[in-house]
Amino acid sequence: MCGIVGVVGLQDCAETLLDSLKRLEYRGYDSSGIVTRAAEGFVMNRAVGKLGALSATMRDRPLSGRSGLGHTRWATHGGVSERNAHPHIANNKVAIVHNGIIENHAALRDELRAAGHEFASETDSEVLAHLFLAAFDQGMSAQEAGAAVLSQIEGTFALAAMHVDHPDMMIVARNASPLAIGLGDGASFVGSDAIALAPLTRNVIYLKDNDFAIVTPDSAQIFDAAGVSVHREVVIVAASQGMVDKGGFRHFMEKEIHEQPDAIAHTLAAMTGTDGTLSTPLSRDDLQAIDGIVMLAAGTSHYAAMVARYWIEALARVPVSCEIASEYRYRKPVTGAFTTAIAISQSGESLDTLMAMRHAGEAGLRTVGLVNVPESTIAREASLVMPTRAGPEIGVASTKAFIAQLTALICFAAALAEARGSIDAQRRDEIHEHIRGLPSIIGRTLGLFDDIRPLAHSLTTARSALYLGRDVLFPVAMEGALKLKELSYIHAEGFASGEMKHGPIALIEEGLPVIALLAADEVMGKAASNLQEASARGARIILVTEERAAHVVDFADQVITVPNVDPLLAPLLLTVPVQILAYLTAFEKGTDVDQPRNLAKSVTVE
Ligand code: F6R
């Protein structure tokens, strides 16, 4: 949700700002802009649309200067237009970029207007520029101005501000939205995440909520909300420069689908102890003390939680509640039955999930962060981290991170079950062995691209599609529907197949595509009957199943098969064809696969 970057003390910094924005475009791509402090004062380029538009403007009108700010926007307050694009400049003296929402912006704007300030945009962010302007105009120092502005604003923010009279200085601050300060050699940087800073420096400071900092080419002085100087650790991040390369694929999503065998293998390695058995970051005593688990997540990560509920309840006999993070955080949940909250997030930055995790922590639950980005806010705030090792996921639609989440969660379920005595060590090791075989089986499913292409082509003209699954495949059906709708803008819903007859079956009409997920499990016969009911009413059944189960639905119109696996692992395997179907449908339709409309990769606003 908006990416921000800043540089102080680097010759011709505009190019570096643009390059860093490319690494942050996953956070939003409604508009973008760069301001630098040139000899004549602030100079700025802004453009509506993806970063390519700004790059073209920068070629036509290069910006000089050693310090500057950049922003890529996901619109919240104010429509998508150039005047609402960041940076915002107040009176040619203060330039700011902001990620988050200033909740009291209307009241602040009224006060500032009454004091003579004139606004150029409809954004909440522009008040920040005017608040800094007012502070500096009153003769405050940078430190005083930082404290004064922070004391007036409510909401979530990562911000960076510059004053024209202090060309080699930036004031930055954060609350709930992520912000990293990078310390380089003779220059300093800020960015929404370490990926933005990857080629510039690995020495990073993460601010705590309500901290602000004064950043110069060779220092970062940090203050807490009260304006008291504080020390924050410099961490060495593992981010590497090559992480945003498409590696010869047409899209990041295509590349990331192909990286799934590695994502499983690396995540499994992180969940395997030195003795070679399944292991978790929780000790055996910790596992035995778990009486109930709340899973907190959003979107695709929520579907991973829902799959895990079937596994954990079946294997470990521990109750699990799966909560949509944005709902949970404002509920007054009854937590008595639960001892542990697992926050699941690829980015580790989804504000809803972060807040839900804090809510659970305040209610006395032990918090575990299942995250893919080790330097993320959820990773830093959770009492324990369970890592997924999918590597950086750039495509906005999550693929390999979901598979890695499932891998970590099935490992966790088996380890928990063994620690609690509901399965023995032999069964745990058997499950481990099956997971070990997954990378090569999933590797084989990647050969399905050619089989699925004609099917994807036929879906491009569909107005709607249904995804059906039963038991542990129900969440996979919802994940398949989410992938199709977000990438190709075709309306799609995922249903529990047994639920169809209670209402949704009314949607079935001649030729409606129904993507049916089926595994050779206990409910296979019942799931097949549900599909029969849809087929009898004219649905076009596209069966996605294991080889050994295909014969059960002999009335299917089209069949995609994957190799047979242990029924526990069917959700991982059957996910791959639905990802490929969504990818190819979007590709055939010509939509922007990696950056679908209205979306952003990391959702750091409410
Ligand atoms: C869909 C998708 C989103 C994310 C959701 C949570 O393809 O990627 O639904 O899963 O925004 O994001 P994280 O996992 O980063 O918290």
Q: How confident is the model at residue 593 (pLDDT cuts 50, 70, 90)?
A: very high
Does the Cβ of 347 fall within 6 Å of ligand 1? yes
What is the topology classification, in CATH, of domain 3-243?
Glutamine Phosphoribosylpyrophosphate, subunit 1, domain 1 (3.60.20)
Per-residue pLDDT at 243: 54
* Averaged pLDDT, 308-316: 98
Q: Is the distance from the beta carbon of residue 325 to the nearest atom of ligand 1 less than 6 Å? A: no
Confidence at 239, pLDDT banded by 50, 70, 90? low
Q: Evaluate the omega torsion of the peptide bond into residue 475 and state whether it is cis, within 30 degrees of 0.
A: no
Buried/exposed 342-351: b ≥16 CB within 10 Å, e otherwise: bbbbbbbbbb
The fraction of the chain above a pLDDT of 70, given in percent, is: 98
Q: Ligand 1: which of 328, 370, 603 to mutate, most ligand atoms within 8 Å of CB?
A: 603
398 alpha carbon to ligand 1 midpoint, in Å? 6
Ligand 1 near 346 CB (within 6 A): yes
Nearest CA to ligand 1 atom 5: 299
Task: Give mean pLDDT, residues 363-369.
Answer: 96
Q: Note whether 341 and 357 are within 8 A (CB).
A: yes
| H-assigned helices in 278-424 | 284-288, 299-316, 325-328, 351-362, 377-381, 400-419
* Cα(245) to centroid(ligand 1), Å: 21
- Could you tell me where the beta strands, DSSP code E, fall in 456-578? 464-469, 491-496, 513-518, 540-546, 558-562
Given this model, what pLDDT does residue 225 score?
A: 83
Which residue has the CA at smallest separation from atom 10 of ligand 1?
300
Does ligand 1 lie within 6 Å of residue 345's CB atom? yes
Q: Is 400 helix (H, G, I), strand (E, B) or coil?
A: helix
Could you tell me the fold of the domain covering 444-597? Rossmann fold (3.40.50)
Mean pLDDT over 474-500 rounds to 97
- Block residue for tokens 């409910």: 523
Q: What is the structure's pLDDT at 181?
A: 96
Q: pTM, whole model, 2 decimals? A: 0.83
Q: What is the pLDDT of residues 531-587, one digit of tens each?
A: 999 999 999 999 999 999 999 999 999 999 999 999 999 999 999 999 999 999 999
- Give Dmax over CA atoms of the chain in angstroms: 80
- For residue 192, is pLDDT > 50? yes
Q: Report, as an integer, the average pLDDT of 463-478.
A: 98
According to the model, what pLDDT value does residue 242 have?
44
From the CA of 299, give the closest atom in ligand 1: 9
CA of 603 to the centre of ligand 1 (A): 8
What whole-number distance in Å separates Cα of residue 396 and Cα of residue 390? 14
Give the nearest ligand 1 atom to 347 CA. Answer: 15
Residue 159 has pLDDT above 50, yes or no: yes
296 pocket-lining for ligand 1 (C-beta < 6 Å): no
CA of 356 to the centre of ligand 1 (A): 15
Atom nearest to 353 CA in ligand 1 = 16
Q: Is 376 in the pocket of ligand 1 (CB under 6 A)?
A: no
Q: With a 6 A CB cut-off, is 397 part of the ligand 1 pocket?
A: yes
pLDDT mean across residues, the chain:
94
Amino acid at 226: A
Whether 208 is catalytic: no
Residue nearest to atom 3 of ligand 1 (CA): 299
∠ CA(416), CA(418), CA(420), 5° rounding? 70
Among residues 309, 304, 281, the alpha carbon closest in space to that of 293 is found at 309
| Closest CA to ligand 1's atom 9 | 299
Question: Which numbered atom of ligand 1 lies nearest the CA of 402?
Answer: 10
Two tokens, residue 460: 């491009």
CA distance linking residue 403 with residue 400, whole number of Å: 5
**pLDDT for 289-311, tens place per residue?**
999 999 999 999 999 999 999 99
CA of 196 to the centre of ligand 1 (A): 19
The CATH H-level superfamily of 245-423 is Glucose-6-phosphate isomerase like protein; domain 1 (3.40.50.10490)
Q: Where are the domains of the chain?
A: 3-243, 245-423, 444-597
pLDDT value of position 241:
44
CA 489 to ligand 1 center in whole angstroms:
17
Q: Do the domains 444-597 and 245-423 match in fold?
A: yes
489: helix, coil or strand?
coil
Cβ(6) to ligand 1 under 6 A? Answer: no
Q: Indicate which residue's Cα is closest to atom 7 of ligand 1.
A: 397
More confident residue, 320 or 374: 320
Catalytic residue among 255, 400, 483, 601: 601
Question: Model confidence at 322, in pLDDT bands (50, 70, 90)?
Answer: very high
Which pLDDT value is given to residue 194?
A: 80
For ligand 1, atom 11, the nearest C-alpha belongs to 299
3-class secondary structure per residue, 24-60 = HHHHCCCEEEEEEEECCEEEEEEEECCHHHHHHHHHH
pLDDT confidence tier of residue 240, bands split at 50, 70 and 90:
low
pLDDT tens for 323-344 read: 999 999 888 888 888 999 999 9
Instruction: Tell me the mean pLDDT in the region 52-68.
Output: 97
pLDDT at 124 over 80: yes
Q: What confidence tens digit (pLDDT) does each residue in 418-446 have? A: 999 999 999 999 999 999 999 999 999 99
Is the pLDDT at 248 greater than 80? The verdict is: no
Question: How far are the Cα atoms of 19, 87, 93, 150, 393 from residue 171, in angstroms, in the given order?
Answer: 22, 14, 14, 11, 30
